[in-house]
Amino acid sequence: MDSKKLERLRARYADRGAFDGDDPVLLRAARDVQTGDGRRTLPYSGVPTFLGLPHAPSVDGLDIAVVGVPMDLGVSNRAGARFGPRAVRTIERIGPYHPTFRGVPKGRARAADVGDVPFHSRYDLAHCLRDIEEYYAGLRARGVRPLSVGGDHSITYPILKALGKDAPLGLVHIDAHCDTMGSYDDTKFHHGGPFRLAVLDGVLDPDRTIQIGIRGAANMFWEFSHASGMTVIYMEDFMRMGLDAVIAKAREVVGDEPIYVSVDVDGFDPVFAPGTGTPEAGGLSSREGLALLRGLQGLQIAGADVVEVAPQYDPTTNTSQLAAQILFEEFALMTLGEAG
């Protein structure tokens, strides 16, 4: 480097602050991430909330409510997803700037952590599902879009019942499992069957549903996915097609009408997300899953979730870290990623 260049750099940068720069998009982002006094809140300080959003005791006036659903009465194997919301709240330093959508989601919407769905009974799964449906019907009536952290995957059925009441939604579903099983151990309510129930209730359109990352050995339970016309991308299809083709297929399947996005963390390989109840080897990597979600930019998203985080099986906290990042990607899709 010649001395002139060094002089130029000194003149320009020696006394500039961290938020100072020339790119107008980044300057706006810098404004969006600062508090009123020109600082940033300490990421490790204060009462933990989802994505560091403010806590709101009421949903009135919000565009997006981030909701915890700490309920895991629907699991078929290892329990623990009831601890998912708390674990995801403790993750700090996610966002607030989105590097590919180039913006700060919380600067573009009135969004808050509204706490957890209130449950009447800790023992009664069917009752819990009714509590969830009622809560989300209330959000929908107020025009608030929900972003949810489970809980096991049984919670997505009552959410879809509330959101798809007037017109069935499309679905992008990332999971190791299709979750379209029938009754099992004398109950149709469990985390292996929310999407079958949603289709049969007329709140989910199977022709506008794509399931991605499917693997394991439970194929005998998933006839309904194929019989109803869902598009199922098994992991071997994913590897053969490649990421871009899977994104194109997803966009083709769901179209321009409103969709729901549901991410089961077991869709990711247990190397990345071991903290879950039914892990399956051979899944998506973190970078594949995040790229897949970013590929949904421009779609109309009525709501989204990340489920099945059971933090006690992951002493590294990587599963919660990934889940918080997924939550942020969904938040970004709902605020920065939409058309218009």
Residue ranges that bind Mn ion, judged by CB under 5 A: 153, 175-177, 179, 264, 266
Q: Which is nearer to Mn ion, 30 or 259 (CB)?
A: 259
Please identify, using beta-carbon distances, which residue of 105 and 274 lies nearer to Mn ion: 274
CB 324 within 8 A of CB 85: no
Between 211 and 335, CB nearer to Mn ion:
211
Minimum distance, C-beta of residue 79 to Mn ion, in the bound complex (Å):
14
CA distances from 141 to 66, 134, 201, 304 (A): 16, 11, 20, 17
Burial class (CB in 10 A: 0-12, 13-18, 19+), 19: middle
Tokens matching residue 50:
């989802």
Kindly state the smallest distance separating residue 196's Cβ from Mn ion, in Å.
Answer: 12
Q: Are 128 and 121 in contact (CB under 8 A)?
A: yes
Q: Residue 115 Cβ, how far from Mn ion at the closest point, in Å?
A: 24
Q: What is the dihedral of CA 62, 66, 68, 69, to 10 degrees?
A: 80
Contact 110, 63 (CB under 8 A): yes
Shortest distance, position 308 Cβ to Mn ion, whole Å: 6
Q: Which is nearer to Mn ion, 68 or 270 (CB)?
A: 270
Using the minimum distance from each CB to Mn ion, give the nearer residue, 97 or 272.
Answer: 272
CB atoms within 10 A of CB 285: 12
H or E segment and range at residue 318: helix 318-335
Backbone dihedral angles phi then psi of residue 150, each to the nearest 5 degrees: -80, 175
Smallest gap, in angstroms, from Cβ of residue 39 to Mn ion?
41
Q: Is the CB of 176 or the CB of 327 nearer to Mn ion?
A: 176
**Other CB atoms within 10 Å distance of the CB of residue 239:** 12
Assigned token pair, 92: 């700090």
- DSSP code per residue over 19-34: T--S-HHHHHHHHHHS
Q: Give me the least distance between CB of 198 and Mn ion, in Å please.
A: 13
- Cβ proximity to Mn ion: between 29 and 214 the closer is 214
Least Cβ distance, residue 120 to Mn ion (angstroms): 24
